[in-house]
Amino acid sequence: MKPLNLVGQRYGRLKVVAPAAVDKWGSRLWLCECSCGGRITTHAHSLRSGDTGSCGCLRRETTIKRSTTHGGSHTKEYRVWERMRIRCNNPNRADYERYGGRGIKVCARWMESFSNFLADMGTVPAGKSLDRINNDGDYEPSNCRWATASEQNRNRRKWVRKPLTEAHKLAISRAKRGKKYFDARGFLHPKQVKMSSP
């Protein structure tokens, strides 16, 4: 029986370069060079059966391709999309009260995928950020634009001052009387306690 010679043959991305060592069971190993430049040593039956067709680069590429949906997760647009969704849907966020707490929602198309958001809005122009045209409206294609800070300042909703608490009223009245050792909440500073006590 003629000895097996695989040198020069191709199996997937691998080209057999030379016979290598013999494993502990006496089976011949073959040195192969991958089309990506990598090298591996493997058995003839792994090559001939199709179990081994690359140095491992094919598996890595397949895994990356399978787990990558849009490839934009490290972009400014992705961060804008993610923050928009969070402030409208996460009641634990400090800014939720101004967005989701007021009933502002993200449209179903944008909630479904970042790709849809990017297709509708495009990339962020320099010096601009996401703005809702109608501040009481939802985040949706017809109500959003990229705007400069000055454009956004002109597009603010009217701010309503909350009524003052008793502590604030006390602090204001004491400040008017010139007692500067009270803080803004109307409480004594620790260093001033002895000085102000009767």
Q: With b meaning 16 or more CB within 10 Å and e meaning fewer, what string describes 36-69?
A: eeeebebbbebbeeeebbbbeebeeeeeeeeeee
Residue range 174-184: mean pLDDT, rounded: 58
The answer to whether 12 and 50 are in contact (CB under 8 A) is yes
Instruction: Return the amino acid letter for 191.
Output: K
- Locate the domains of the chain by residue range: 10-67, 76-154
Confidence of residue 159 (pLDDT cuts 50, 70, 90): low
> What does the pLDDT read at residue 163?
74
Q: Is the pLDDT of residue 84 over 90?
A: yes
Q: Is the pLDDT of residue 193 over 50?
A: no
Confidence of residue 131 (pLDDT cuts 50, 70, 90): very high
- CB-based contacts of 135, cutoff 8 Å, min separation 6: 155, 156, 157
- Kindly report the backbone phi and psi dihedral angles of residue 81, in degrees, each rounded to the nearest multiple of 5, phi listed first: -60, -45
The predicted model scores a pTM of 0.48
Residue range 13-42: mean pLDDT, rounded: 91
CA nearest 81: which of 126, 114, 128?
114
More confident residue, 135 or 170: 135
CA distance 81 to 70: 13
Residue range 127-149: mean pLDDT, rounded: 93
